Structure 1
Amino acid sequence: MARARLTVTTPDGSWAGRVTRSHPDAHIRVRTASIGEPATLVAEVTAPSLAPVIAAISEADGVRSLDILDRHGDTAVCRLTVADAGPLAAAAAAGAPPEYPFTVADGTIEWELTATRSALADLADELSERGLEFTVAEMRPGDDGEPLLTPRQRTVVRTAVDSGYYEVPRGCSLATVAEQADLSKSTCSEILRRAEKRLLTRYLNGGQP
């Protein structure tokens, strides 16, 4: 396992990016998140002038609902339903979720996470593919004995092998593997592609990482 600290820049279209850039003295501290379509977040919103920030979040494109659960001083605890989880969706797809809570301020997100090197590499790929800029502030390498595939990759590859997907001729289609793994066809294809890349790279390197 490796521990990393990342700074992710929110895109211009992100509601959190727009609000915190327009209100640079505001901070959004995300306590928990349920990733889906839509996604649900519980977050503390803190600002010297709280009402305009809450209004800006509520009216932002992509925010479907905002409920204030508690309020004390210049902080409100809110439950948000948003159309797109953005960077969090990338982290979920890579199997490298950040630790909670984390903070969004002035258009940037500060993340700390612990994951396998392969999951961190997948996270970098996911962020890049979604056009999200990020910098790695700190990385503590793990040992070389960690599993080559993430648990999710191993499960999907095992499903594909057991279903005959790699037989010649194929014993089943990609759609069948996806259905058995309870995934969309595109997600299943992406997971298999990344797993195959890792396995082939390790093989071609003579078993070395």
Structure 2
Amino acid sequence: MAITAEFVIRSPSLPLTDFAASLPSGRFECEHGLCLKRDCDVFVAHVDPDDGVSEADLAALEAVVETSALGRRDGRDVYRLTVELGAVAEAFAPERFTAVEVEPVVVTPEGWYEKKLFESYDELDGIRTRFEDHGISMEIVSVTQDADSTAESPQYGLTDRQYEALTLAISRGYYESPREITTEELAEEMGISQPSMSTLLRRGERQLLSSTLEPHNRLNALSS
């Protein structure tokens, strides 16, 4: 099963967002490259020439430890940047990522807009958990599922466990008024803790809302 997810990650510790804020366009694109060591990553940045950025400007950025100009491509200046990830380095440890980058990351003052291919919904949920564990919020903009796997997996971007939890909750009257069962009782049926059950329900509910309602924070809104 393969899914493609568009999402925005936000944290005061994310590098390069301050640089995006200084640009007249308020955004630039970059591609992840090699991870030289756990606290550094290599990006290939594509900058609009109208933003008036020089190699010296990039080298002066606090998070950038090395930069080199690679020329111009598709009308934009291209630079190779070695960037210190700082407080969020562990969230981007290379062994924790199996997702494939579908499009370049768009860096804006509000955060990073990404589009990635995941093998499963569980992997998508796993990356969100890892981000949250390191103080990075992740907002799902859209999730699309490979047509060949639609029939065998839960809909609306739910993980298998979220689907199971929501289905159980509905069947046991959790969403009736008044409720006919508690999260503690649901957790006991699923063989998990009450906090884990609450987390499954909360994330499942959020995913359903994100998938069925029109997203309000599209890419254009991020840089407005």
State the TM-score, normalized to the length of structure 2: 0.55
Aligned to 1:134: 138
- Residue by residue over 1:173-195, the C-alpha shift from the partner in whole angstroms, topping out at 9 and shown as x without a partner, is xxxxxxxxxxxxxxxxxxxxxxx
Structure-2 residue corresponding to 1:25: 25
Count of aligned residue pairs for this structure pair = 152
Taking a change above 3 Å as real, the CA distance of residues 55 and 13 of structure 1, as seen in their structure-2 partners, is farther
Q: Tell me the residue number matched to 1:170.
A: none
Alignment CA distance shift 1:49-1:96 (3 Å): closer
Whether 1:45 and 2:36 are equivalent positions in the alignment is no
- Does 1:125 find its partner at 2:129? yes
Instruction: Report if the CA contact (8 A) 1:94-1:120 is conserved.
Output: no
Mapped contact 1:102–1:111 kept (Cα < 8 A): yes
- Give, as a single letter, the amino acid of the residue that structure 2 aligns with 1:18: D
**Could you tell me how far 1:4 is from its partner in structure 2?**
1.2
Instruction: Quote the residue 1:62 is aligned against.
Output: 63
Cα displacement (A) at 1:131: 0.9
Which residue identity is paired with 1:39?
D
Residue identity (%): 14
SS at match of 1:68: strand
Residue 26 and residue 67 in structure 1: after superposition, are their counterparts in 2 closer, same or farther (change >3 A)?
farther
Residue pair 2:67, 2:81 contacting (<8 A) in 1 also: yes
Q: Distance in 2 between matches of 1:61 and 1:130?
A: 21
CA 1:47–1:133: 2 relative to 1, 3 Å: farther
Q: Give the whole-Å Cα distance in 2 for the aligned partners of 1:81 and 1:102.
A: 16
Query: TM-score when scaled to structure 1?
Result: 0.58
Pairwise mapping of residues 39-118 of structure 1 onto structure 2 (< 5 A)? 39-51=41-53, 54-71=55-72, 75-84=76-85, 86=88, 89=92, 93-115=96-118, 116-118=120-122
Deviation at 1:28, TM superposition (A): 2.3
Unaligned runs of 5+ in 1: 149-202
Deviations 1:75-123 (A, max 9, x none): 3100111122858816861422432323212332221122111211110
Using the TM superposition, give the Cα deviation of residue 26 of structure 1 relative to its aligned residue in structure 2, in angstroms.
4.2
How much is the aligned-residue C-alpha RMSD, in angstroms? 3.6
User: Per the alignment, in what secondary structure is the counterpart of residue 18 of structure 2?
Assistant: helix
CA contact (8 A) 2:3 2:143 kept: yes
Shift of 1:72: 6.8
Unaligned runs of 5+ residues in structure 2 are 155-159, 161-189, 193-224
